[in-house]
Amino acid sequence: MDNVVAIEIKKCSKIYHKNGKDIVALKNINLSFEYGKFYLIVGHSGSGKTTLMNILGLIDSKYDGIVKINNKEVNNLKSKELAKIRNTNIGFIFQDFYLDNFLTAQENVLTPMLINQKKYSYKEMEDKSQILLDKVGLSERIKHFPKELSGGEQQRVAIARALANNPNIILADEPTGNLDVENEEYIFKLLKEMSKNFKCIIMVSHSKDAKKYADVVYNLENGEINYDED
């Protein structure tokens, strides 16, 4: 599986138009991300990291350039098809967890499976989500609602959810931004382990420790990749 390209972006630019002003968030970026590797994107605040992640995650579709996922262009896909790709091929982890507060940990994890419409029974989905929660060390917390969980636990639920449909690409935008050092280490290790399972992990992080886990580090500066550092 080595050197198989998961996501590739070519000549990618993003300009925000705000109050008649143009804000160039990304300038002509060319990058490719391979399976089995842990990518870290660093950069100053406002350098365009989140903007890049949104494009990679098919959240933002208004940009210039070409994005390919599994060697397939996604630029002209309809929102329904993009939703399908997000659901099956990509797992998301955010700084603010983004869990559904009215669903238990287990239900949060099985939501992507429900959306996926694969022919699993509800029971099978529950079992699968239990296994995923076991994996992130929350087997005792499956019936808890997000507000009954600590920040670290919530983020682990979010990770379990990101893995629900066994996607090959994980996008994590500052996943440990709200967590303490121990939880951070736990989550970095989890992500590292996933990358060893031939997943493509792309993480944005301000943490100094993150570099220890990453295989490749990209440094964004004012919307451009600065290759000097690594």
Ligand X SMILES: Nc1ncnc2c1ncn2[C@@H]1O[C@H](COP(=O)(O)OP(=O)(O)OP(=O)(O)O)[C@@H](O)[C@H]1O
Do the Cβ atoms of 33 and 57 come closer than 8 Å? no
89 near Mg ion, judged by CB under 5 A = no
In the complex, least distance from residue 57 CB atom to ligand X, rounded to whole angstroms:
13
Structure tokens at 54: 């949104």
176 touches Mg ion (CB under 5 A): no
Interface residues for another protein in 99-138 (CB under 8 A)? Answer: 99-103, 107, 110-112, 114-117, 122, 125
Contact string (CB under 8 A) for another protein, positions 149-178, x = contact? ------------x-----------------
Burial 100-109 (b: 16+ CB within 10 A, else e): eeebbbbbbb
Number of residues that make up the chain: 230
Return d(Cα 229, Cα 44) in angstroms, integer. 14
Residue 117: Cβ within 10 Å count: 9
Please give the residues from 55 up to 74 whose contact with another protein meets the rule CB under 8 A: 59-62
Binding pattern for the stretch 19-58 against ligand X, x by CB under 6 A and - elsewhere:
----x-x-----------------x-xxxxxxx-------
Whole-angstrom distance, CA of residue 153 vs CA of residue 155: 5
Q: Which helix (H) or strand (E) holds 194?
A: helix 181-196
Q: Is the dihedral of CA 48, 50, 53, 59 positive or negative?
A: negative
117 binds, among another protein, ligand X, Mg ion, none (CB under 5 to 8 A by kind): another protein
Interaction of residue 84 with another protein, rule CB under 8 A:
yes
- Contact residues for Mg ion, defined by CB under 5 A: 50
- Contact residues for another protein, defined by CB under 8 A: 54, 59-62, 79-80, 83-84, 86-88, 92, 98-103, 107, 110-112, 114-117, 122, 125, 161
